[in-house]
Amino acid sequence: MKPTMVNLGYSLSCEEHAPADLVRYARRTEAAGFAYASISDHFHPWIDRQGQSAFVWTVLGAIAGATEHLQIGTGVTCPTTRCHPALIAQAAATVAAMMPGRFYLGVGTGENLNEHIVVGVGRPMMSGPKCWKRPFR
């Protein structure tokens, strides 16, 4: 058996840093030799003092243009409550085309703490097949 190698990565936190800073941190991550980075995808910060939460797909596009070798992916994005799964697929395919072989898509169920603002105001929680079928009718 071959020995298992450890890959170290860096976490880019959209809810803690401005978009231009995230791009700069991604360049530094690549220059420091990290194997990969993950970038958070939340609509709202965890706590108020964090102050912001950049749109991850725009930041990923900028990172694609600013790096050459860094592997990066969402950690994680929720393709059910905030955005239609087809939009997430299109965004992910676009980023993957901009950084061939370097992008991975991490998906999850979402976090009410960060997503309740979009879902809870004026519209019911949308999830699962009912949500996915609605726009295709």
What are the distances in angstroms from CA 34 to CA 37, 75, 81, 107? Answer: 8, 16, 32, 22
81 touches 110 (CB < 8 A)? yes
Name which residue leads in pLDDT, 127 or 13.
13
Domains of the chain: 9-136 (3.20.20.30)
Query: Which tokens in the block code for residue 85?
Result: 């799964």
What is residue 84's predicted lDDT score, i.e. its pLDDT? 82
Is pLDDT above 80 for 63? Answer: yes
pLDDT at 121 (0 to 100):
47
> What is the set of active-site residues?
42, 111
